[in-house]
Amino acid sequence: MTNNKIDIESYKNSMIGHLGITFYESENEDEVKATMPVNLHTCQPFGYLNGGASLALAECVAGHGSNLLCDAESYAVGAQVSANHVSSVPVGQTVTAIGKIIHKGKSSHVWNVDILSETGKLVCSARIVNFVCRK
Q: 86: how many CB neighbours lie within 10 A of its CB?
A: 11
Which listed residue (27, 59, 73, 118) is catalytic?
A: 59
Q: 115: how many CB neighbours lie within 10 A of its CB?
A: 29
Strand blocks (E) in 69-118 = 74-85, 94-104, 108-116
Residue 59 annotated in active site: yes
* Helix, strand, coil in percent for the chain, rounding step 5: 20, 45, 35
Q: Which residues are catalytic?
A: 59
